[in-house]
Amino acid sequence: MTYKLLFLDIDGTILKPDHTYSASTKEAIAEVKKQGVEVFLATGRPLHEVRELAEELDVQSFVGYNGAFGIYQDETIINEPLKESTIKEFLRLAKEHNHELVCYTSEKNYFTSLTHPKVQQFIDIFNLKWNEALTEDVVSGILGATVMNLKPEDVALYEEEADIHLSQVNVEEVKHGYDVIRKSVNKGVAVQRIMERLNIKKEQTIAFGDGMNDKEMLQAVGEGFAMGNCAPELLPYSKHQTTTVTESGIANGLKQLGLLK
């Protein structure tokens, strides 16, 4: 099989818990690129927070904000902000129930509080740099969001819209955090749109992920890999399983497909 596209989640897939990546990961990306594979960073993160990593890995294509924004080299091919009314309702719920919210635009991360301990922990864990207090004037350009300080029994509060569900962040220290995912806008839908735009068949595509926000992506590609450190609930959605992020999971998965020796 000649593979054409490789989609890589970042946290828990490329990046280890200490925010570093294995040399084997960088080498694997370089090797498949030599073979004509276009590599995408496919993340829940905002793209302004992954530019440095992308430069280090020599990657020019992206799926960000859990599928709301997509770039193929220099061309923007997906741009799907959340509805302003949805964000306003989320802000109302967060205030009423003492939750915290971070909303991501194309330029900044906007938090309902910059001093709450859960927010500070979130910023530290994900090494976020472009942070400001959330104000009403930015709610029309929100591409993604994460709810924090949230108990599992409160998740349903945010799922009143049929298109919305919350996905728990797959990081041990952030079990209080949930990404906002849309059925109509997610990593899987983004992957499908990219395949259509580039006229590439499903069986020519590969993806690696570790969290439940990756399930649609792993189903959308021909060869979906769940990392060894993945959320157990992800396994039914993956075709393959590889080793953990600290054990060269990406490189070992690509070896299974014969792309690496």
Given CA atoms 243, 230, 46, 110 in this order, what sign does their dihedral have? negative
Given CA atoms 185, 190, 196, 201 in this order, what sign does their dihedral have? negative
Average pLDDT over residues 135-141: 89
**Above 80 in pLDDT, residue 170?**
no
Catalytic residue among 9, 11, 210, 214: 9
pLDDT band for position 111 (cuts 50, 70, 90): very high
The span from the CA of 58 to the CA of 115, in Å, is: 35
Domains of the chain and CATH, by start: 5-80+185-256 (3.40.50.1000), 84-182 (3.30.1240.10)
The span from the CA of 88 to the CA of 134, in Å, is: 12
State both tokens at 192: 């499908």
CA atoms within 13 A on the CB side of 163: 7
The span from the CA of 46 to the CA of 28, in Å, is: 24
pLDDT value at residue 136: 84
pLDDT value at residue 261: 84
**Above 80 in pLDDT, residue 174?**
no
pLDDT value at residue 72: 97
pLDDT in tens, 42-87: 999 999 999 999 999 999 999 999 999 999 998 999 999 999 999 9
**Above 80 in pLDDT, residue 171?**
no
Q: Is 9 an active-site residue?
A: yes
The span from the CA of 74 to the CA of 136, in Å, is: 31
